[in-house]
Structure 1
Amino acid sequence: MMKLQSLSLGLFRSDYLMQNPEGNKIKQVEFNTVASSFGAISSNLPAMSRYILRQMGHGDLIKNMPENRALSGLCSGIIEAYDLFGVPSAVVLFVVEEVSYNICDQRFHEFEISETRPDIMIHRKTLNEIYEETTLNDKKQLILEGKPVAVVYYRSGYEPAQYPSSREWDARLRVERSSAIKCPSIHYQLAGTKKVQQALAAPGVLEKFVAGSATERVRDIFTGLYSLDFDESGERAVEMALEDAERFVLKPQREGGGNNLYGADVRDALLRMRRARERAAYVLMERILPPTVAGYVVRPGAAVPPPITDLVSELGIFGVIIGTRDKIYCNRQAGHMLRTKLAEANEGGVAAGLGALDSPYLVDM
C-alpha cells in the first residue's frame, strides 16, 4: 500500500505595505498560503502599462517598470510537483468554486501549463463534484475519470461558506487521505493563519526556523502582533486596543478579504467578547500607515475624467516551495502583484471590489 503523500506544494504570496511613521520601512501585512490569486492577471498588466506610457509619449519611462513572470513562475511549481509525483498518466486537479468570479486568473494557469507541458491534462472540479466523481484506490491514489491525480491545486476551500454540507467536507478529507500532492496541504494551509503569523513574531520563536543575521532582517518586517488569549499578555493586548482602537486591526482566522475590523469596530468587538472564548480566535495587529500617492481610479459608471485621489499600494511577492518535513526540493521567488486602493478604504481586496491591480514603477529614493 502506498504511503500517504509527504510532499507538499506551496504557491504562496506574502503581502507588504510601507510603514510611513518608520521611514517607509517594509512591513508584512499577511502571508497567504491558499488560493493566492492574481499571479496571472498581474503578469499581463505590465504590457498594458507599457502601452499606455507609449500612447502618452513617455516610452522612455518603460525602463523603470520591472518584468513580472508570476504566471510562469507559479505554474512551474505545479509542473515540478507533477514530475515529482512520477506517474506519466496522472492529471492535475484544480478545485474551484461553484461560481468562480476570478475565473480569468485561474484559467490562465491552465493555459500556461498546457502550453508548457501539453502532456499534462487539467481538470476543474468543485468540492461537490470531487465528492461525486472521485475515488481512492488501494494505493491511496485519488482517481478521476480513471486517472490518478498528481497535484490538487485549491482555488477554493478556504472559507466556511465553501463547505455548505458534509459532502464538501468528505471530499476534502478524501483528497487529504490520498497520495496526490496538495497545494496547499492542510498543514501549509494552517501555516497561513493569522495565529501562526502572530506566534512567529513572539520573542524567541523565529530563531527556531531562521539562523544568524537573517533573523533580525525577517523580524524587522513584522509589525506588532498580539495574542488575545486569556492570559496576562492577552489582557494587556485587550487593554491596549480599548485605549486606542485606531492603532489596531482585529483579524480573525479567515481568508478571502472583508473579515477584519478597524477603529471603533475593534473596540466594540473586544467589549462584546471580552469574556468569551471567541476572543482567542482573533489576533490584534498594529495598523500599518502607508504613504499615499495621488492617482486616478478608473471604474465603470464613474466620472469621466476621474478625479485625482489619494491612493495606497500593497505589494505581494509570490513564492514557490516544494518539500517534505526533511527535504526542500525548491524554494524560490516567483513574481509579484501590486494592489492599489483608495487611501481611506480599510480593505483592499480586488475580488471584493475594494482595490485594483496595478503595476510597480521604480524610482530612486
Structure 2
Amino acid sequence: MFAAEYGDYVSRYLLKKRPLEQIVEEALDFAHCHGLAMRTSENKDRSDICQVAPMALFPSPFPSHLLKQAVDAQDPMTELYFYLAWDHDFLIEAHKDVIKTDVFTRKMVEIYEKVWAEGVPQTKSLVTQRADYMADISKNSNGELKQIEVNNIAVSMGGLAQRVSKWHRKIITELEGKDPGEKVPINQPVDTLGEGLYHAWLAMEDPNGIILVVVEDVNQNQLDQRFIEYHVSALSEGNVKFIRATLSECASRLKLNDKKDLIIDDDKRITLVYFRSGYSPANYSSDSEWDTRLTMERSNAIKCPWIGLQLANTKKVQQILTQPKTVEKYFPEDPDKVQRIRGTFASIWGLEHDDDATPTTRRWEKTLQQTHNN
C-alpha cells in the first residue's frame, strides 16, 4: 500500500514541480560531479571510461518503523557474528554436511582448523557489516521486517550509497521546498567504514604499518572502494599507506617472519588486511590463492574479516540461527538483544534433512525456478 501511495505522490506532486527530463539531466550532472560513477561492463579494468552508477531518481519508500527496527538490531547483530566467529565447535558442526559437496566452504574450514590449532594470532578484530532487509507486506499492510542476508566481507556500495542519499535529500528539498528531515535519512557509510579501518590501523601501534586491500583481478566497482581508502587517508592526514593487490599477486609478494608479521615486498609490514575480494570461488583459481589466504590468516595482522568471521557469514549459518536456542546461547542474560535479532528473521529451511518440510521446500524452490525461467 505504501509503495502505491508513494508512486502516486511522485507522479501527481513531485513531477508537477519540475519536468522529468530536467530532473534526470541534473541527476546525471550531480552524479558526475560527486563521483557517483563506476566502470563500464565493457571496460571493467579501466577508470578512464566510466558511467553513472545505477541510481533511483527519488528515494524508495520504506516504512520508518521498520527502518528503526533494523537500526535497533544492528549493534546486537554485529556482536552476534563476532561471537559466532570465535565459536569453533559451532562453526564446524554447522558446516559438517556442507563441506561434503561444497569445495569452497571445505577449503575455508580447512584454513580455519589450521589457524585454530596453531592459535589464532591476531589479538584484535574488525567487523564491518551490512545487513540487508526487505519489507514483507503479504500478511500485514504495515509491513514486517525480513532479513535477506548479513554480509561481513567486502561490504560494498557504501561510497555510492552515500552519494545517492545526498542526491535524494537535495532533490526532495528542492521539490518540496523544505528539508525532508528523517523522511530521507542521512546516510554516511563511508565515514563509518573509514573510521573503522583507521582505528584498527591505529590499534596495531605501528605508524609504518600498511593496509593491504585485497582486490579482484578485474574490478568494476573500484571507485566505490576508493572512497573508503581516501577517507582513511584524510583521517590519518596521509600517514596511512595502502597497497592494493589480488590474491594471485600476493602469492609472490607475501611472507611471514618469525614474529608472524605479514611482510610484503620483503620489507613492508602489513598490519591490516582489508578483503574486497576472497568471498567467491572465482577468486581462488588455484591452490596458490588458497595458500596465500592461509599465510594471511597465520599472521598477526588484523584481517577484515578473519577466516572465522567469513565462515560465520555463510547462508548455512544464517539458516541455523533461525532455529530455537541458537541466538539465545550468545546472550544468555539479555533477552532484549535476542528479541531484536530474532525479530528480523525470515523463515529459512535446510535441505539436508529427511522430514516433512524438506520435500515441500524443494517443490517450492523448483516452482520459483520455473517461474524465473519463464
Q: TM-score, normalised by structure 2?
A: 0.62
Distance (Å, rounded) in 1 between the aligned partners of 2:251 and 2:369:
43
Distance (Å, rounded) in 1 between the aligned partners of 2:342 and 2:367:
24
1:221 to 344, 349, 365: 344
Q: Write the deviation string for residues 276-313 of structure 1: whole angstroms up to 9, x where unpaired.
A: xxxxxxxxxxxxxxxxxxxxxxxxxxxxxxxxxxxxxx
The alpha-carbon deviation at position 262 of structure 1 amounts to 6.9
Question: 2:166 is matched with which residue?
Answer: 47
Question: 2:72 is matched with which residue?
Answer: none
The alpha-carbon deviation at position 90 of structure 1 amounts to 0.6
Distance (Å, rounded) in 2 between the aligned partners of 1:89 and 1:242:
54
Q: Quick check: 1:141 aligned with 2:246?
A: no
Q: Write the deviation string for residues 244-272 of structure 1: whole angstroms up to 9, x where unpaired.
A: x1xx5xxxxxxxxxxxx870459xxxxxx
Q: Quick check: 1:16 aligned with 2:133?
A: yes
Distance (Å, rounded) in 2 between the aligned partners of 1:100 and 1:134:
21
Deviates more, 1:18-27 or 1:212-221: 212-221
Q: Quick check: 1:62 aligned with 2:180?
A: yes
The alpha-carbon deviation at position 58 of structure 1 amounts to 2.5
Q: TM-score, normalised by structure 1?
A: 0.64
More RCO (CA 8 Å, sep 6+): 1
**Structure 1 residues 262 and 143: alpha-carbon distance in aligned structure 2, compared to 1, 3 A threshold:** farther
Q: Quick check: 1:6 aligned with 2:127?
A: no
Question: 1:263 is matched with which residue?
Answer: 368
SS at match of 2:129: strand
> Which amino acid is 1:209 matched to?
Y
**Structure 1 residues 87 and 21: alpha-carbon distance in aligned structure 2, compared to 1, 3 A threshold:** same
**1:208-287 aligned within 5 A:** 208-210=329-331, 211-229=334-352, 231-232=353-354, 235-243=355-363, 245=364, 263-265=368-370
> Which amino acid is 1:166 matched to?
D
Question: 1:72 is matched with which residue?
Answer: 191
Q: Quick check: 1:127 aligned with 2:232?
A: no
> Which amino acid is 2:261 matched to?
Q
Distance (Å, rounded) in 2 between the aligned partners of 1:51 and 1:223:
34
**Structure 1 residues 75 and 226: alpha-carbon distance in aligned structure 2, compared to 1, 3 A threshold:** same
Identity of aligned residues (%): 35
Question: 2:145 is matched with which residue?
Answer: 26
Aligned pairs, number: 250
1:36 to 123, 146, 155: 155
**Structure 1 residues 161 and 202: alpha-carbon distance in aligned structure 2, compared to 1, 3 A threshold:** same
User: Is the CA contact 2:211–2:271 (under 8 Å) kept in the aligned structure 1?
Assistant: yes
User: Is the CA contact 1:92–1:121 (under 8 Å) kept in the aligned structure 2?
Assistant: yes
User: Is the CA contact 2:191–2:231 (under 8 Å) kept in the aligned structure 1?
Assistant: yes
Q: Write the deviation string for residues 202-257 of structure 1: whole angstroms up to 9, x where unpaired.
A: 1111110132233233222111111222x34xx323222245x1xx5xxxxxxxxx
**Structure 1 residues 98 and 59: alpha-carbon distance in aligned structure 2, compared to 1, 3 A threshold:** farther
Question: 1:108 is matched with which residue?
Answer: 227
The alpha-carbon deviation at position 61 of structure 1 amounts to 5.0
> Which amino acid is 1:17 matched to?
M
> Which amino acid is 1:132 matched to?
S
Q: Quick check: 1:181 aligned with 2:296?
A: no
1:93 to 212, 217, 220: 212
The alpha-carbon deviation at position 77 of structure 1 amounts to 0.8
Question: 1:193 is matched with which residue?
Answer: 314
Q: Which runs of 5+ in 1 are unaligned?
A: 249-260, 267-343, 346-365
Distance (Å, rounded) in 2 between the aligned partners of 1:264 and 1:115:
47
Q: Quick check: 1:158 aligned with 2:274?
A: no
The alpha-carbon deviation at position 126 of structure 1 amounts to 0.6
User: Is the CA contact 2:255–2:262 (under 8 Å) kept in the aligned structure 1?
Assistant: yes
SS at match of 2:271: strand
The alpha-carbon deviation at position 62 of structure 1 amounts to 3.1
User: Is the CA contact 2:132–2:147 (under 8 Å) kept in the aligned structure 1?
Assistant: yes
Question: 2:325 is matched with which residue?
Answer: 204
Distance (Å, rounded) in 2 between the aligned partners of 1:59 and 1:47:
16
Question: 1:320 is matched with which residue?
Answer: none
User: Is the CA contact 1:227–1:237 (under 8 Å) kept in the aligned structure 2?
Assistant: no
Distance (Å, rounded) in 2 between the aligned partners of 1:107 and 1:175:
22
**Structure 1 residues 97 and 264: alpha-carbon distance in aligned structure 2, compared to 1, 3 A threshold:** closer
User: Is the CA contact 1:50–1:59 (under 8 Å) kept in the aligned structure 2?
Assistant: no
User: Is the CA contact 2:273–2:301 (under 8 Å) kept in the aligned structure 1?
Assistant: yes
User: Is the CA contact 1:16–1:28 (under 8 Å) kept in the aligned structure 2?
Assistant: yes
Higher strand share: 1
Distance (Å, rounded) in 2 between the aligned partners of 1:205 and 1:101:
38
Higher helix share: 2
SS at match of 2:128: strand
Distance (Å, rounded) in 2 between the aligned partners of 1:124 and 1:264:
39
User: Is the CA contact 1:141–1:149 (under 8 Å) kept in the aligned structure 2?
Assistant: yes
**Structure 1 residues 166 and 242: alpha-carbon distance in aligned structure 2, compared to 1, 3 A threshold:** closer
The alpha-carbon deviation at position 42 of structure 1 amounts to 0.9
Distance (Å, rounded) in 1 between the aligned partners of 2:370 and 2:289:
33
User: Is the CA contact 2:349–2:361 (under 8 Å) kept in the aligned structure 1?
Assistant: no
Question: 1:322 is matched with which residue?
Answer: none
